């Protein structure tokens, strides 16, 4: 024989209604509407988390690219894809896939970013790869 759940139906409904606070008229009173609104809200919040990650990644790429095209860094003639390629080739610098930390360095410490560019370009010239 199956066992009963831990919460009664009224407790489950009360929990759902508590999540639906702030909704209009039937959206917080009628159980069926409350359930629909909560399901919709959960789906939208999931989409929002994915969009936030996507937007942050785009912003980090834009920041790195802008720093590469600053006047003091133009002498290296690197675009974004070449820069990332150099980062991934270099074994001493472990920033290959970490766009967040590279963009933070590029924005907050431009002189360090220039040093990093110089190091990458110099190591490329001495490495047997390519």
For residue range 100-130, list pLDDT tens digits in order: 999 999 999 999 999 999 998 888 776 555 4
pLDDT band at 96 (very low <50, low <70, confident <90, very high): low
4 lies in some domain? no
96 lies in some domain? yes
**In total, how many domains does the chain have?**
1
Contact indicator for 31, 13 with CB cutoff of 8 Å? yes
3 lies in some domain? no
97 lies in some domain? yes
Enter the pTM of the model.
Answer: 0.72
At residue 103, the pLDDT reads 93
For residues 63 and 59, give the distance between their C-alpha atoms in angstroms, rounded to a whole number.
6
Which residues lie below 8 Å from residue 94, measured CB to CB, with a gap of 6+?
none
Contact indicator for 67, 113 with CB cutoff of 8 Å? yes
Domain that holds residue 31: 10-126
pLDDT above 90 for 39: yes
1 lies in some domain? no
């Amino acid at each position: 024989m199956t066992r009963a759940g831990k919460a009664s139906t009224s407790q489950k409904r009360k929990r759902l209604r508590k999540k639906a606070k702030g909704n209009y008229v039937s959206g917080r009173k009628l159980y069926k509407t409350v359930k629909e609104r909560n399901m919709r809200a959960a789906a939208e919040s999931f989409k929002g988390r994915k969009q936030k990650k996507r937007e942050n990644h785009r912003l980090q790429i834009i920041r790195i690219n802008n720093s590469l095209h600053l006047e003091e860094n133009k002498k290296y003639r690197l675009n974004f894809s070449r820069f990332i390629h150099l980062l991934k080739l270099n074994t001493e610098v472990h920033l290959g896939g970490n766009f967040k930390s590279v963009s933070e360095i590029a924005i907050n410490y431009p002189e360090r970013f220039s040093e990093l560019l110089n190091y990458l370009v110099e190591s490329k010239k001495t490495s047997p790869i390519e």
